[in-house]
Amino acid sequence: RRSKRALTDAIDRALIDLLAIYRDVLMVQVGGDGELINTDLSDLVHQIAHDSTPHQTLARVDHIETARKRLVANGNPLLVLEDMAISLRPQA
């Protein structure tokens, strides 16, 4: 039970980090004047911002939040992450 909880907590922390990246992406896309949270990933943030729209970014944030909720609801971590990863891939 503890090991499953530790795994779920570690995945949740990673998803929160991912949400922070997409927060930066959205800020760049809408021309916000705040500082980036992930200054070390500035190139990646700008690349994602350039290659997508704010609507796509918000949809990705929603998918990440859904993954977090599914993990809390005792979803299978592998399936939850796989579904989320598919939703985050670049769209044409």
> pLDDT grade, residue 73 (50/70/90)?
very high
pTM: 0.88
69: tokens are 């909720």
Q: Residues 12-55: pLDDT tens digits?
A: 999 999 999 999 999 999 998 888 898 999 999 999 999 999 99
pLDDT for the residue 92: 61
pLDDT for the residue 34: 83
Query: Which are the contacts of 22, defined by CB distance < 8 A and separation ≥ 6?
Result: 48, 57, 60, 61, 64
How far apart CA 33 and CA 3 sit, in angstroms, is 42
